[in-house]
Structure 1
Amino acid sequence: MQRQLYLLVYPIIWLISKMPFWLLYLKSDMLYFLLYYIVGYRKKVIKQNLQLAFPEKLEAERNLICKKFYKHLCDLIFEAIKGMTITEKELGKRYTFENLEVLKELHKKQKSVLLMSGHYANWEWSGVLNNQNSYKNYAVYKKIENPYFDSFVKNLRERFGATLIKSKHVIPALYRSVKKDILSVTLIISDQSPRPDANGHRDLFMGIDVPVYTGTESLAKKLDFATVYFKVEKVKRGFYSVRFIPLAEDPNTKEDFEITRLFLNELEAQIRKHPEYYLWSHRRWKYRKTEN
Structure 2
Amino acid sequence: MGHNFNWEWGNVSLLMHSQYKFLGVYMPLANKIFNRIFKKIRSRSGTVLLSAHHMTREFLPHRNTQYCLGLVADQSPANLGKAEWFHFFDRKTAFTMGPAKNAAKNNTVVIFGFISRPKRGYYHVTFSVAEEFPTAESATTLTSEFVKYLESVIKANPDMWLWSHRRWKHEWKEEYGPVIQ
Instruction: Indicate the TM-score class for this superposition, using the shorter chain for normalisation.
Output: 0.7 to 0.9
1:151 paired residue number: 36
Of residues 224, 245, 263, the one that matches 2:146 is 263
3-state SS of paired residue (1:231): strand
How far does residue 231 in structure 1 lie from its aligned partner after superposition? 1.8
2:86/2:94 contact within 8 Å kept: yes
How far does residue 171 in structure 1 lie from its aligned partner after superposition? 2.8
- Cα pair distance change 1:199/1:290, threshold 3 Å: closer
3-state SS of paired residue (1:265): helix
How far does residue 213 in structure 1 lie from its aligned partner after superposition? 1.6
2:62 paired residue number: 177
- Cα pair distance change 1:277/1:162, threshold 3 Å: same
Of residues 76, 95, 112, the one that matches 1:229 is 112
How far does residue 290 in structure 1 lie from its aligned partner after superposition? 7.7
| In the alignment, structure 1 residue 217 sits paired with structure 2 residue 134 | no
TM-score by length of 2: 0.86
Structure 1 distance, partners of 2:59, 2:107, is 11
1:44 paired residue number: none
How far does residue 205 in structure 1 lie from its aligned partner after superposition? 1.1
2:28/2:51 contact within 8 Å kept: yes
Q: Map of 1:1-292 to 2, 5 A cutoff?
A: 117-128=1-12, 129-179=14-64, 182-195=65-78, 197-289=80-172
Q: Higher Cα Rg: structure 1 or 2?
A: 1
3-state SS of paired residue (1:201): strand
Spell out, residue by residue over 1:115-136, the C-alpha distance to the aligned partner (whole angstroms, 9 max, x if none).
Answer: xx10113112223232432101
- Cα pair distance change 1:167/1:290, threshold 3 Å: closer
1:137/1:184 contact within 8 Å kept: yes
Superposition RMSD in Å: 1.9
TM-score by length of 1: 0.55
3-state SS of paired residue (2:170): coil
- Cα pair distance change 1:164/1:127, threshold 3 Å: same
Spell out, residue by residue over 1:14-46, the C-alpha distance to the aligned partner (whole angstroms, 9 max, x if none).
Answer: xxxxxxxxxxxxxxxxxxxxxxxxxxxxxxxxx
1:136/1:183 contact within 8 Å kept: yes
The structure with the greater share of residues assigned to strand is: 2
- Unaligned 5+ segments in structure 1 are 1-116
Fraction of identical pairs, as percent: 29
How far does residue 204 in structure 1 lie from its aligned partner after superposition? 1.0
The structure with the greater share of residues assigned to helix is: 1
1:225/1:249 contact within 8 Å kept: yes
- Cα pair distance change 1:172/1:247, threshold 3 Å: farther
Query: May I ask how many residue pairs the two structures share in their alignment?
Result: 173
- Cα pair distance change 1:198/1:192, threshold 3 Å: farther
3-state SS of paired residue (2:129): strand
1:118/1:191 contact within 8 Å kept: yes
